[in-house]
Amino acid sequence: MGNTDDHKRILTRYWGFTSFRPLQEEIIRSVEAGKDTLGLLPTGGGKSITFQVPALGSDGICLVITPLIALMKDQVDKLKKMDIRAVMVHSGMMKDEISIALDNCIYGDYKFLYISPERISSEMFRNRVVRMNITLVAVDEAHCISQWGYDFRPSYLKISDLRELLPEKVPFLALTATATPPVVEDILSKLKFRGTTVFKSGFERENIVYLVRKIEDKESYILRTVEKVKGQGIIYVRSRKKSKEIAQFLMTNKISAGFYHAGLSRELRDARQNEWMGRKTRIIVSTNAFGMGIDKEDVRFVIHWDIPDSIESYYQESGRAGRDGKKAWAVLLYNNSDISRAKDRVRTSFPPVDKIKDIYEMLCNYLKIPIGGGKNNVYDFDLGRFVTHYRLSVSEVYNSIRFLEKEGYLELTEELNNPSRVNFIVNRDDLYKFQVANVALDGFIKLILRSYTGLFTDYVAVNEDFLSKKSGLTRDAVYKFMTHLSSHDIIKYIPGKKSALIIFSEERLDRKSLRISPENHSGVKDKFEIRLGRMLGYVGSETRCRPSLILDYFGQDSERCGKCDVCLSRNELDLSKYEFDMILGEVKRLLGSTSIAIDEIVRMVGGDDQKTIKVVRWLLDHDKIRSDENNLLSWNS
């Protein structure tokens, strides 16, 4: 077990930091003491450090469970660049690849095994994990285990099954950036925590100025803002079309911008992200597809063109601003039509049960799955082609699939960009004999062996374009060489492909046996409406400090920030928070059931008359109270 000096040496050696961020070391000490631990750290708070450091200080393997394959790949690539042995297992891999990866974790000197949650229940994994020296289980995005959360995933409920397969002493570390008190309780319960060790950083982001602007001409507002505020920023939108339109508008006005959404090719998305990360592009206009795993410190502003579905989503996305601790802005724009559209999302996000069943049957027919078949099978899935084939709307299909996921029938992954992979399946002596007997292939085999390492023990990602350039062969000739070697059982070659995947967790059912439970339809709908209602409450509030509303949602007490648009408006009254809140509360009580003249209100409140008048005028200006034809005031319900 390591001590503080050991932890810091590991931190400095691999990450170059000389000190930990708040709560990181407390979490590390907790899991090293064998305690099940929940860490609530803000977006950009360095969650991965809390399991990577103790894992590097131990002799065994850290099992990391994460639902985001792109994030999984990103972390594994970063670990490999630091010469740390890490491997991942997800649904986009072939059976042989998964088998080799798991065997390497049993027999090889690996420190990290990243796995997607739906793979946990597979027989191959369950048979192998009992033979691994697992010393820590890290559950990333732990809020996904809770039906009270905003991103519930049924496969997360299988994680606690690991308790039966691993030694009792192995601690579980659950990590999330956003969890309300009910979600925290759910995480502890569903993961079968032994104790309630919870480390919770404050949700405050004191350097961020939160603003809400009710405005019709959003483009002009954005233009004025990006001209006034220096530095890079993100503009979040809900539609792919809008991301392109706003980026083009900014470029027309000589502001460097790019757009980003899940419909772009992986190459283009990577290029756009790299241009923005490298400051070649100042502003990225994106759907919520952008941001996961992005750790950029100097983002000066995040603007939301549309109203998010929940405070959790807004907190995560706006929290990508100001990670360097310097002043930054989080701005949410809206108008009356945005409020109507947000409320209409309740209808569009919850297709009727019969429509969900229709889409399930279409999906099974499209993938050629017979009744009783398909269980544990993985299928390439192009959402665009599917909706075109059946003339359906994207949102209708996507939301129906999400309900089928909640019932545990299937899972949909994000689009994968799996590179080509190669594994040599002969030993070196037999390979040498093959090279002597096949002189025409000798040079190409030597090129592969010079270009890549680990080919005899694992599947290794290869790039046909790189090999083409190095060898002087065409890309097609490289492909033919690969397939030729594969046909002679020299290598196993998996050509690269780009595709989302659907994993069928259960066999195909006939329509009458397909059950969409009320708790997974109307129940989820009710929770969605509650979360959206709290978000609309944030948008429409003109009396409560913006950060206070966010912190209250996450169950945290707070003081008025003094910087948001609501606080700035109050500051003009020259009243303390205590004075303002006391007078407001008294006025609201008096006007709760009757109409009263202003001079009568002033008399009944008592105290400083001028302060009461200031608050009453402020409430009138913000439509919290109204005056009738007799100049009697009443509360606007």
Tell me the residue type at 401: I
Q: pTM for this one?
A: 0.80
CA dist., res. 363 & res. 372, Å (int): 15
Closest CA to 366 of 223, 468, 502: 502
Task: Look up the domain containing 368 and give its range.
Answer: 344-416+500-528
Q: Which SS3 state, helix, strand or coil, does residue 200 take?
A: strand
Statement to judge: residues 183 and 53 lie in one domain: yes
Which stretches does DSSP call E strand in 495-617? 497-504, 596-597
Tell me the residue type at 96: D
Q: Which SS3 state, helix, strand or coil, does residue 421 take?
A: strand
Alpha helix (H) ranges present in 284-327? Answer: 311-318
Statement to judge: residues 449 and 376 lie in one domain: no
521 in a domain, yes or no?
Answer: yes
CA dist., res. 394 & res. 387, Å (int): 6
552 in a domain, yes or no?
Answer: no
Strand partners, 626: 634
Which of 200, 220, 248 is the last residue before a domain boundary?
Answer: 200
Statement to judge: residues 156 and 228 lie in one domain: no
142 in a domain, yes or no?
Answer: yes
Closest CA to 118 of 508, 503, 509: 503
Statement to judge: residues 353 and 465 lie in one domain: no
534 in a domain, yes or no?
Answer: no
Quickly count: other Cβ atoms within 10 Å of residue 55's Cβ.
25
Closest CA to 173 of 298, 284, 41: 41
User: Which ranges of the chain have pLDDT less than 50?
Assistant: none
Statement to judge: residues 286 and 323 lie in one domain: yes
Q: Report the pLDDT value the prediction gives residue 292, as an integer from 0 to 100.
A: 59
CATH code assigned at 132? 3.40.50.300
Q: What angle do CA 67, 70, 76 make, to 5 degrees?
A: 95
Are 35 and 195 a contacting pair, CB within 8 Å?
Answer: yes
Strand partners, 627: 633
- The upper half-sphere exposure of residue 539, i.e. CA atoms within 13 Å in the direction of its Cβ, equals 27
Quickly count: other Cβ atoms within 10 Å of residue 608's Cβ.
13
Are 134 and 115 a contacting pair, CB within 8 Å?
Answer: no
- The upper half-sphere exposure of residue 222, i.e. CA atoms within 13 Å in the direction of its Cβ, equals 28
- DSSP for residue 83: T
Q: Which SS3 state, helix, strand or coil, does residue 481 take?
A: helix
Tell me the residue type at 55: A
Closest CA to 255 of 218, 276, 281, 228: 281
Statement to judge: residues 449 and 405 lie in one domain: no
542 in a domain, yes or no?
Answer: no
Are 196 and 159 a contacting pair, CB within 8 Å?
Answer: no
* Total structural domains within the chain: 5
CA dist., res. 619 & res. 633, Å (int): 10
Which of 281, 309, 334 is the last residue before a domain boundary?
Answer: 334
CA dist., res. 186 & res. 188, Å (int): 5
Statement to judge: residues 511 and 461 lie in one domain: no
Statement to judge: residues 362 and 293 lie in one domain: no
357 in a domain, yes or no?
Answer: yes
Statement to judge: residues 295 and 369 lie in one domain: no
Which of 281, 301, 334 is the last residue before a domain boundary?
Answer: 334
Statement to judge: residues 397 and 450 lie in one domain: no
Q: What tokens does 162 get? A: 């690991």
Are 118 and 412 a contacting pair, CB within 8 Å?
Answer: no
Statement to judge: residues 314 and 262 lie in one domain: yes
Alpha carbon of 101 to those of 52, 423, 525, 620: distances in Å? 19, 12, 40, 66
CA dist., res. 366 & res. 347, Å (int): 26
Alpha carbon of 226 to those of 234, 253, 254, 309: distances in Å? 11, 11, 11, 25
Q: Report the pLDDT value the prediction gives residue 572, as an integer from 0 to 100.
A: 67
CATH code assigned at 622? 1.10.10.10
- Which run of H or E residues covers position 371? none
567 in a domain, yes or no?
Answer: no
Packed helices 4-15 and 24-32: angle between N→C axes, nearest 10 degrees: 120
Which stretches does DSSP call E strand in 276-356? 283-286, 299-304, 328-334
Cα first-last separation, the chain? 60
Burial class (CB in 10 A: 0-12, 13-18, 19+), 426: middle
CB under 8 A, 24+ apart: contacts of 399-405: 399/348, 399/349, 399/350, 399/351, 400/351, 400/355, 400/356, 400/359, 400/360, 401/359, 401/363, 401/502, 403/351, 403/356, 403/516, 403/520, 403/521, 403/524, 404/356, 404/359, 404/360, 405/153, 405/154
166 in a domain, yes or no?
Answer: yes
Pairing of strands 632-635, 596-597: antiparallel
List of residues 6+ apart from 185 with CB closer than 8 A: none
Statement to judge: residues 491 and 504 lie in one domain: no
